Amino acid sequence: MAAVHAPDLAAYRRSSKSKSKTTVLGDGRLDRIYALPYMNLEDLARENALLFLLNSRVRHPPSRFALMDEQSLTFAIWIETIRPQPVGSLGEAYRMDLWTGDLDRYGQIEHYEPSSTETTAGRTPNVPPGLLVLDLQAALLQALRDIVALILQDNPLEVYAETGPIAPELPPLSLHPGEDSPSVVDLALARPYLVPEKVDVARLSSLAHARVAEWVDYGWAMREDPGFFAEVIGDWHEHSSTSTNIRLSNVKLAPHTQTIQGKLTEWSHNASSAINEPYEGIAVWGFFAKQLDELASLREEFARGEYECEYEEDIPGYREILKRILTLLELRVIEKAARELSFILPSSPPWRDLFIQGKGASS
The reply to whether the predicted model has a pTM over 0.75 is no
The whole-number pLDDT of residue 281 equals 93
Task: Tell whether the model's pLDDT for residue 10 goes beyond 80.
Answer: yes
* Long-range CB pairs of 213-220, under 8 A, 24+ apart, other chains included: 214/281, 215/278, 215/281, 215/282, 215/285, 216/278, 216/282, 218/278, 218/281, 219/278, 219/279, 219/282
Q: Identify the sign of the CA torsion 252, 256, 260, 265.
A: negative
The whole-number pLDDT of residue 58 equals 85
- What are the backbone angles phi and psi of residue 33, rounded to the nearest 5°? -60, -40
User: Which candidate, 100, 101, 97, places its Cα nearest to that of 112?
Assistant: 97
* Lowest mean per-residue pLDDT among 83-87, 95-99, 273-277: 83-87
User: Which candidate, 184, 192, 166, places its Cα nearest to that of 49?
Assistant: 192
For residues 178-185, average pLDDT: 60
The whole-number pLDDT of residue 362 equals 36
The whole-number pLDDT of residue 170 equals 62
- The 10s digit of each residue's pLDDT in 207-266 is 999 999 999 999 999 999 999 999 999 888 777 766 554 444 445 555 555 677 777 887
For residues 63-89, average pLDDT: 81
Query: Per-residue confidence at 90, pLDDT binned at 50, 70, 90?
Result: low
Query: Per-residue confidence at 346, pLDDT binned at 50, 70, 90?
Result: confident
The whole-number pLDDT of residue 200 equals 77
The whole-number pLDDT of residue 121 equals 42
For residues 103-117, average pLDDT: 74
Q: Mean pLDDT across the chain, nearest whole number?
A: 77
Q: Which residue has better confidence, 218 or 12?
A: 218
For residues 30-50, average pLDDT: 83
Task: Tell whether the model's pLDDT for residue 112 goes beyond 90.
Answer: no
For residues 85-97, average pLDDT: 68
DSSP letter at 112 equals: -
Query: What residue segments make up the domains of the chain, in order of their start?
Result: 7-193, 201-352
* Lowest mean per-residue pLDDT among 31-40, 42-51, 188-197, 199-208: 188-197
The whole-number pLDDT of residue 363 equals 34
Q: Which residue has better confidence, 208 or 109?
A: 208
User: Which candidate, 250, 232, 324, places its Cα nearest to that of 287?
Assistant: 324
The whole-number pLDDT of residue 249 equals 44
* Lowest mean per-residue pLDDT among 101-110, 229-238, 275-284, 303-312: 303-312
Residue 176 CA: distances (Å) to CA of 36, 173, 185, 186, 197: 23, 9, 12, 8, 20
* Lowest mean per-residue pLDDT among 51-60, 191-200, 237-246, 298-307: 237-246
**Whole-number Å distance between alpha carbons of 99 and 116:** 19
* Residue 138 neighbours by CB under 8 Å, 6+ apart: none
The whole-number pLDDT of residue 359 equals 43
Query: Per-residue confidence at 203, pLDDT binned at 50, 70, 90?
Result: confident
Which of the listed ranges 1-15, 54-68, 211-225 does the model predict with the highest average pLDDT?
211-225
* Residue 3 neighbours by CB under 8 Å, 6+ apart: 40, 41, 42
**Whole-number Å distance between alpha carbons of 275 and 270:** 9
For residues 133-152, average pLDDT: 88
Cα angle for residues 317, 71, 123 (degrees, 5° grid): 35
Q: Identify the sign of the CA torsion 182, 188, 192, 196.
A: positive
**Whole-number Å distance between alpha carbons of 21 and 17:** 8
3-state secondary structure of 24: strand
The whole-number pLDDT of residue 226 equals 92
The whole-number pLDDT of residue 177 equals 54
Share of the chain above pLDDT 90, in %: 17
Whole-angstrom Cα Rg for the chain: 27
- The 10s digit of each residue's pLDDT in 217-230 is 999 999 999 999 99
